[in-house]
Amino acid sequence: MANLKLGKLPNRTPSKITITVSADLYQELQDYAALYRQTYGESETVAELIPFMLAGFLEGDRAFAKARKEGLPGPGASEKSRRQSESGSG
Protein backbone atom coordinates (compact mmCIF):
# COMPACT_ATOMS: atom_id res chain seq x y z
CA MET A 1 0.00 0.00 0.00
CA ALA A 2 1.40 3.42 -0.99
CA ASN A 3 2.18 6.10 1.57
CA LEU A 4 0.60 9.22 0.17
CA LYS A 5 1.85 12.61 1.27
CA LEU A 6 -1.76 13.55 2.01
CA GLY A 7 -3.06 11.57 4.96
CA LYS A 8 -6.58 10.28 5.29
CA LEU A 9 -9.03 13.14 5.51
CA PRO A 10 -10.79 13.66 8.85
CA ASN A 11 -14.48 13.04 9.40
CA ARG A 12 -16.27 16.03 7.93
CA THR A 13 -19.80 15.02 8.83
CA PRO A 14 -21.40 18.02 10.54
CA SER A 15 -22.81 17.58 14.02
CA LYS A 16 -25.91 19.45 15.09
CA ILE A 17 -26.13 20.93 18.56
CA THR A 18 -28.87 22.96 20.19
CA ILE A 19 -28.17 25.75 22.67
CA THR A 20 -30.22 28.23 24.62
CA VAL A 21 -28.92 31.78 24.95
CA SER A 22 -30.05 34.77 26.95
CA ALA A 23 -32.26 37.41 25.34
CA ASP A 24 -29.33 39.85 25.47
CA LEU A 25 -26.95 37.47 23.71
CA TYR A 26 -29.58 36.65 21.11
CA GLN A 27 -29.94 40.36 20.34
CA GLU A 28 -26.17 40.77 20.12
CA LEU A 29 -26.00 37.88 17.64
CA GLN A 30 -28.77 39.47 15.57
CA ASP A 31 -26.87 42.78 15.64
CA TYR A 32 -23.70 40.99 14.53
CA ALA A 33 -25.54 39.39 11.62
CA ALA A 34 -26.87 42.82 10.61
CA LEU A 35 -23.37 44.32 10.75
CA TYR A 36 -22.04 41.37 8.74
CA ARG A 37 -24.70 42.03 6.08
CA GLN A 38 -23.83 45.75 6.04
CA THR A 39 -20.08 45.03 5.83
CA TYR A 40 -20.08 42.28 3.21
CA GLY A 41 -23.34 42.87 1.37
CA GLU A 42 -24.42 39.27 2.00
CA SER A 43 -27.07 38.09 4.40
CA GLU A 44 -26.15 35.17 6.66
CA THR A 45 -28.27 33.80 9.47
CA VAL A 46 -27.02 33.70 13.03
CA ALA A 47 -27.04 29.89 12.79
CA GLU A 48 -24.72 30.11 9.77
CA LEU A 49 -22.35 32.54 11.51
CA ILE A 50 -22.06 30.80 14.91
CA PRO A 51 -19.84 27.86 13.79
CA PHE A 52 -17.30 30.31 12.36
CA MET A 53 -17.48 32.48 15.48
CA LEU A 54 -16.82 29.45 17.66
CA ALA A 55 -13.96 28.26 15.47
CA GLY A 56 -12.36 31.71 15.63
CA PHE A 57 -12.76 31.79 19.40
CA LEU A 58 -11.15 28.38 19.85
CA GLU A 59 -8.33 29.16 17.42
CA GLY A 60 -7.53 32.33 19.40
CA ASP A 61 -7.46 30.64 22.82
CA ARG A 62 -3.76 29.97 23.46
CA ALA A 63 -4.34 28.02 26.67
CA PHE A 64 -6.74 25.70 24.86
CA ALA A 65 -4.30 25.21 21.97
CA LYS A 66 -1.52 24.39 24.44
CA ALA A 67 -3.70 21.91 26.32
CA ARG A 68 -4.68 20.17 23.07
CA LYS A 69 -1.06 19.98 21.99
CA GLU A 70 -0.13 18.40 25.33
CA GLY A 71 -3.01 15.94 25.07
CA LEU A 72 -6.32 16.64 26.73
CA PRO A 73 -7.91 13.85 28.74
CA GLY A 74 -10.34 11.87 26.60
CA PRO A 75 -14.12 12.03 26.92
CA GLY A 76 -15.34 10.35 30.07
CA ALA A 77 -12.04 10.71 31.90
CA SER A 78 -12.69 10.81 35.60
CA GLU A 79 -11.63 13.63 37.88
CA LYS A 80 -9.35 11.16 39.69
CA SER A 81 -7.51 10.22 36.49
CA ARG A 82 -7.17 13.89 35.61
CA ARG A 83 -5.63 14.65 39.01
CA GLN A 84 -3.27 11.69 38.65
CA SER A 85 -2.09 12.84 35.21
CA GLU A 86 -1.60 16.39 36.50
CA SER A 87 0.53 15.19 39.42
CA GLY A 88 2.49 12.84 37.20
CA SER A 89 1.48 9.66 39.05
CA GLY A 90 -0.51 6.85 37.54
Distance CA 64, CA 59 (A): 8
Residue-wise pLDDT tens digits, 23-77: 999 999 999 999 999 999 999 999 999 999 999 999 999 999 999 999 987 555 5
Ramachandran bin of 2, using left for φ above 0, alpha for ψ from -120 to 50, beta for the remaining angles: beta
- C-beta of residue 59 within 8 angstroms of C-beta of residue 53: no
Where along the chain do its domains lie?
23-71
Q: Residue 21 corresponds to which amino acid?
A: V
- C-beta of residue 90 within 8 angstroms of C-beta of residue 84: yes
